[in-house]
Amino acid sequence: MERIILKRKIAPRVVNGHPWVFSNEIEAIEGEPQPAAIVEVVTHDKKFVGRGYFNPQSQIPVRILTRNREEQIDADFFLRKIKACWEYRKHTGYTENCRLVFGEADGLPQLIIDKFNDYFVIQTLALGIDRWKPALVAALQEVFSPKGIYERNDVPVRELEGLPQQKGFLSAPFETRIIIQENGLQFHVDLANGQKTGYFLDQQDNRRAIQHIVKDATVLGAFTYTGTFEIHAAHYGAKSVLGLDISKLAVEQANENARLNGLQDRCHFEEANAFDVLKQWVKEGKQYDVVMLDPPAFTKSRATIQKAITGYKEINLRGMKLVKPGGFLVTSSCTNLVHPELFLEIIAMAAKDARRKIRQVCFQTQSSDHPVIWEMENTQYLKFLIVQVL
Ligand code: SAH
């Protein structure tokens, strides 16, 4: 087998369990591994570290799949892994809809599989895992006998791996607009055209966290996508709910979701740029009992992290000013580049500038079907915070 020999003087990260081998950590390559080949990774003194997939074009030429010398990487390996992923979700109570495979956190780097009841959406974000798509599909067929499997590989990050962006059926074609249940509510999900894999499963527990604070409240939501938080708010007894999103398609789906749950009289959605509208409404002196924000990542690279910090601060400042004294701000951040401590600092800065005192009601992360590996920063990405704004 072709071998990747690590440099002597590198951080013990890879040996200690991190699956990524960066190009500047490689001393030498034995043999001529083809792109997507399975290679062995060894230390400078040739001690076995693990086996992983190779892509010379990537800045991360190897991602490790196993550290067990006896374990071969074949279709059966992926079947065992999928079964293990499913066992974990069953143990932690995420069965109907869940992130079945959360990449690195499940030992399957750059692989995402979301389960929406009987339907599955796959993303293979690196060349070395993309090659195993048929084995992954076969494993899903064997374990779940799904009604449909869809590929959402229309993501720019694939281009860094020399892969095309693409989407389509990996099973017989099926109706990709489905309805899922969450916390007793129903939601339309468009697996083919929705954002990411169609639905943000990571907030499923956090949506329940607003239950008590929204009772009899006037609620403003921004960055609502298909309206999940807002529809929960109406369901939990909010007096009136207005949701804003910049995407026309998202707003249409959100209003449809409100109707689907019979909540359209108290909950509706409008197309708007939240930055502009919130600024305007602060000027006009509008006030709400609860303001909810769930903006996009703002940046994907460390180089432009300041842009994200500024974005989060601005929007939270505006959101806070719209909260009545004693009301609540519900705010999220989904980029791993802004770590939890930094996020709290940003909110503290926003409160200072808004001249408001805040107190923390709860601070959570993504749901447990997206487990966090402490050594892998990118597995802890979601921050979900509720503060009372005094
Ligand atoms: N809360 C949602 C997920 C929100 S994703 C859920 O749980 O399902 C972020 C959303 O912000 C996307 O729908 C995107 O269309 C929207 N968005 C991005 N920039 C925006 C802007 N400037 N104003 C309003 N919405 C925006």
3-state secondary structure of 66: strand
pLDDT of 303 reads: 81
Q: For atom 19 of ligand 1, which residue has the closest CA?
A: 246
Strand pairing partners for 328? 290, 388
- Establish whether residue 275 lines the binding site of ligand 1, counting it when its CB lies within 6 angstroms of any ligand atom: yes
Q: For atom 1 of ligand 1, which residue has the closest CA?
A: 224
Q: Look at residues 52, 115, 37 and name the one whose alpha carbon lies nearest to residue 82.
A: 115
Task: Burial-class residue 73 by CB neighbours within 10 Å (0-12, 13-18, 19+).
Answer: middle
Sheet holding 20-21, edge to edge: 20-21, 62-66, 48-54, 38-42, 3-6, 26-30
Average pLDDT on 6-33 reads 94
- pLDDT tens for residues 100-128? 999 999 999 999 999 999 999 999 999 99
Q: Where are the domains of the chain?
A: 3-66, 75-175, 200-389
Handedness of CA 189, 192, 194, 197 (dihedral sign): positive
- Establish whether residue 224 lines the binding site of ligand 1, counting it when its CB lies within 6 angstroms of any ligand atom: yes
The CATH class, in words, for 200-389 is alpha beta
> From the alpha carbon of 332, which atom of ligand 1 is closest?
1
Task: For residues 294 and 316, give the distance between their C-alpha atoms in angstroms, rounded to a whole number.
Answer: 10
Residues with Cβ < 8 Å from 290, sequence gap 6 or more? 210, 213, 214, 217, 218, 219, 220, 233, 238, 323, 327, 328, 329, 330
- Establish whether residue 294 lines the binding site of ligand 1, counting it when its CB lies within 6 angstroms of any ligand atom: yes
- Establish whether residue 77 lines the binding site of ligand 1, counting it when its CB lies within 6 angstroms of any ligand atom: no
Beta carbons of 308 and 299 less than 8 angstroms apart:
yes
> From the alpha carbon of 226, which atom of ligand 1 is closest?
8
Task: For residues 338 and 188, give the distance between their C-alpha atoms in angstroms, rounded to a whole number.
Answer: 30
pLDDT of 377 reads: 84
Crossing angle for the helix pair 305-321 and 274-284, nearest 10 degrees?
A: 30
- pLDDT tens for residues 215-240? 999 999 999 999 999 999 999 999 99
Task: For residues 247 and 77, give the distance between their C-alpha atoms in angstroms, rounded to a whole number.
Answer: 41
- pLDDT tens for residues 295-304? 999 887 888 8
Task: For residues 78 and 53, give the distance between their C-alpha atoms in angstroms, rounded to a whole number.
Answer: 13
Question: How far, in Å, is the centroid of ligand 1 from the Cα of 223?
Answer: 3
Question: How far, in Å, is the centroid of ligand 1 from the Cα of 245?
Answer: 5
- Establish whether residue 333 lines the binding site of ligand 1, counting it when its CB lies within 6 angstroms of any ligand atom: no
Q: For atom 3 of ligand 1, which residue has the closest CA?
A: 225
- pLDDT tens for residues 197-212? 999 999 999 999 999 9
Domains 75-175 and 200-389 share a fold: no
- Establish whether residue 182 lines the binding site of ligand 1, counting it when its CB lies within 6 angstroms of any ligand atom: no
Task: Burial-class residue 287 by CB neighbours within 10 Å (0-12, 13-18, 19+).
Answer: middle
pLDDT of 295 reads: 97
pLDDT of 300 reads: 77
Average pLDDT on 263-284 reads 98
- Establish whether residue 92 lines the binding site of ligand 1, counting it when its CB lies within 6 angstroms of any ligand atom: no
The letter for the amino acid at 254 is: A
Statement: residue 10 has pLDDT above 90: no
Phi, psi of 294 (to 5 degrees): -140, 65
Placement of tokens 């447990």 in the chain: 368
Task: For residues 256 and 227, give the distance between their C-alpha atoms in angstroms, rounded to a whole number.
Answer: 9
3-state secondary structure of 361: strand
- CATH numeric code, 3-66: 2.30.130.10
Question: How far, in Å, is the centroid of ligand 1 from the Cα of 135?
Answer: 34
- Nearest-Å Rg of the Cα atoms of the chain is 22
- CATH numeric code, 75-175: 3.30.750.80
The percentage of the chain sitting over the pLDDT mark of 90, rounded to a whole number, equals 95
Strand pairing partners for 151? 122, 168
What average pLDDT is seen over the chain? 97
- pLDDT tens for residues 136-184? 999 999 999 999 999 999 999 999 999 999 999 999 999 999 999 999 9
Task: For residues 342 and 347, give the distance between their C-alpha atoms in angstroms, rounded to a whole number.
Answer: 9
Question: How far, in Å, is the centroid of ligand 1 from the Cα of 296?
Answer: 6
Q: Which of these is catalytic: 85, 267, 334, 362?
A: 334
Q: For atom 16 of ligand 1, which residue has the closest CA?
A: 223
Task: For residues 118 and 98, give the distance between their C-alpha atoms in angstroms, rounded to a whole number.
Answer: 11
334 is catalytic: yes
- Establish whether residue 276 lines the binding site of ligand 1, counting it when its CB lies within 6 angstroms of any ligand atom: no
CA distances from 362 to 190, 320, 332, 384 (A): 31, 16, 12, 8
Residues with Cβ < 8 Å from 170, sequence gap 6 or more? 122, 133, 137, 149, 150, 151
> From the alpha carbon of 247, which atom of ligand 1 is closest?
15
Going through 31-96 in order, the beta strands assigned E by DSSP cover 38-42, 48-54, 62-66
Task: For residues 120 and 138, give the distance between their C-alpha atoms in angstroms, rounded to a whole number.
Answer: 12
Helices vs strands, H then E, count in the chain: 9, 20
